[in-house]
């Protein structure tokens, strides 16, 4: 079944460009969700980096360099 806009365009003789039916349309909510997920992933990476830096700064060392528990 054709959409109303496509029917009007046919009757008016205008060429209507349509998106193929197998192409998924993204809504603004999908874009926001993707941005939120990307921001959450970046925040997770930054927290991980901060924890590693904190462990390094609080670690013990000597003239040879840093000492780790490993």
Longest dimension (CA), the chain: 85
Is residue 14 domain-resident? no
Indicate the average pLDDT of the chain.
78
In a domain, 17, yes or no: no
First-last CA distance in the chain: 67
Residue 50 within any structural domain of the chain: yes
Strand-pairing partners, residue 66, are: 61
Burial of 22 (0-12, 13-18, 19+ CB in 10 A): exposed
Asked if the structure places residue 43 within a domain, the reply is yes
Angle at 38 between CA 32 and CA 35, to 5 degrees: 15
Residue 49 in domain: yes
Position 20 pLDDT exceeds 70: no
User: Is residue 25 over pLDDT 90?
Assistant: no
| pTM reported for the whole predicted model | 0.46
Range of the domain at 34: 22-58
Number of domains in the chain: 1
């Amino acid at each position: 079944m054709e959409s109303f806009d496509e029917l009007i365009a046919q009757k008016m003789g205008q060429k209507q460009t349509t998106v193929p039916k197998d192409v998924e349309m993204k809504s603004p909510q999908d874009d926001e969700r993707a941005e939120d997920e990307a921001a959450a992933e970046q925040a997770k990476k930054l927290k991980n980096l901060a924890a590693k830096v904190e462990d390094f700064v609080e670690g013990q060392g000597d003239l040879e360099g840093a000492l780790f528990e490993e």
